[in-house]
């Protein structure tokens, strides 16, 4: 902790009461005076002592620390000016927005929906439909996920699954070659957008009911409809998906592949810190969710137990 940060910490800790200084010695978590949670041990507002701003993970309130002092202890406002200058840059959580990020996405120019071409007499299209059948797609999932195809060279004989944001705008796509001979590194072609900025198929999500999280778009074939994918096996606090879950207090069902089961437990542990109710589905009977029958997924979804913080410790012991 540098001298300036230490002075700020000493000043704040002298009157804010309950607090937690994070391991980086820079972020200070306190009870939020805006949420006013009856439990004063819920430390959901975080102050960045170097950049002089704060953000609450629950109510999304944010601003400069100087303005926050008024809501914590009015008598300290004058003195706080010695430590906290006004902070006027725009920011998103703890990241300053210094330049616009291009999040534009475009599908291939000849993209077509499979649902509109089920009887098309084209070998490539029929092979794609057969691949869908083998993967477990039904007509409902083909329609809901808006699965399509293209004859553009890099997408030829690939299943394309687009994603749309809450307003119906394209925000991502993934494509998967259907030929078994395809080298693994060339099987997938994804939009070049950092996954932290998107929620896959946000358009289909109801944040007021339990949300299922899986790893990849093809896993969504086997899940219930209110589901999205991580585009990987991690969920971190800087991801839009994480922020939306916390903001909406959405209950979560996590169903990662067998080799990522421990990662699912870690995600559950992180979400539980923010008072999110989480179920971890036991997917270990199959290599990945996309391989299991839909009926089996329903079974493990209905029998899942609510995550308990002791589960993290037990899984660490099992993995020793």
Residue with the bigger pLDDT between 157 and 319: it is: 157
Give the pLDDT confidence score for residue 5 in this predicted structure: 87
Query: For residues 205 and 138, is the Cβ–Cβ distance under 8 A?
Result: no
Q: Which CATH architecture has domain 3-96?
A: Alpha-Beta Complex (3.90)
pTM across the whole model: 0.71
Report the CATH number of the 205-320 domain. Answer: 3.40.1360.10
Domain boundaries, the chain: 3-96, 100-202, 205-320
The closest alpha carbon to 2, from 29, 17, 24, belongs to 24
Chain centroid to CA 262? 17
Is the pLDDT at 218 greater than 90? The verdict is yes
The rounded distance, in Å, linking the Cα atoms of 219 and 228 is 9
Residue with the bigger pLDDT between 228 and 63: it is: 228
The answer to whether 3-96 and 205-320 have equal CATH topology is no
The closest alpha carbon to 216, from 182, 271, 176, belongs to 176
Mean pLDDT of 9-14: 91
**What does the DSSP assignment read for 99-110?**
S---------TT
The length of the chain in residues reads 320
The rounded distance, in Å, linking the Cα atoms of 161 and 142 is 9
Q: How confident is residue 25, by pLDDT bands cut at 50, 70 and 90?
A: confident
Q: Which two tokens stand for residue 266?
A: 């870690």
Mean pLDDT for all residues in the chain: 87
Asked if the 100-202 domain carries CATH number 3.90.980, the reply is yes
Q: How confident is residue 202, by pLDDT bands cut at 50, 70 and 90?
A: very high
């Amino acid at each position: 902790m540098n001298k300036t940060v230490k002075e700020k910490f000493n000043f704040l800790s002298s009157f804010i009461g309950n607090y937690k200084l994070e391991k980086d010695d820079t972020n200070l978590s306190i009870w939020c005076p805006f949420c006013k949670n009856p439990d004063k041990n819920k430390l959901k507002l975080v102050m960045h002592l170097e950049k002089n701003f704060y953000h609450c993970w629950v109510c999304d309130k944010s601003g400069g620390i100087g303005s926050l002092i008024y809501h914590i202890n009015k008598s300290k406002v004058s003195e706080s000016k010695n430590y906290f200058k006004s902070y006027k840059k725009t920011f998103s959580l703890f990241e300053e927005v210094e330049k616009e990020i291009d999040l534009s996405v475009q599908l291939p120019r000849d993209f077509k929906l499979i649902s509109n071409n089920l009887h098309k007499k084209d070998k490539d299209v029929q092979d794609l439909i057969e691949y869908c059948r083998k993967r477990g797609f039904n007509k409902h999932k083909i329609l809901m996920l808006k699965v399509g195809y293209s004859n553009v060279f890099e997408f030829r004989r690939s299943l394309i699954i687009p994603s749309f944001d809450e307003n119906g705008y394209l925000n991502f796509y993934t494509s998967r070659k259907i030929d078994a001979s395809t080298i693994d590194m060339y099987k997938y072609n994804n939009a070049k957008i950092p996954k932290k900025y998107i929620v896959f198929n946000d358009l289909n999500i109801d944040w007021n009911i339990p949300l299922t999280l899986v790893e990849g778009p093809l896993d969504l074939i086997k899940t219930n409809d209110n589901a999205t994918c991580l585009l990987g096996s991690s969920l971190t606090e800087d991801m839009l998906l994480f922020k939306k879950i916390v903001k909406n207090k959405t209950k979560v069902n996590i169903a990662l592949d067998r080799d990522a089961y421990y990662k699912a437990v870690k995600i559950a542990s992180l979400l539980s810190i923010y008072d999110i109710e989480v179920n971890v589905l036991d997917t270990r009977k199959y290599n990945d969710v996309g391989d299991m029958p839909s009926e089996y997924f329903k079974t493990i979804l209905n029998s899942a137990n609510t995550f308990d913080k002791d589960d993290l410790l037990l899984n660490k012991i099992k993995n020793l």
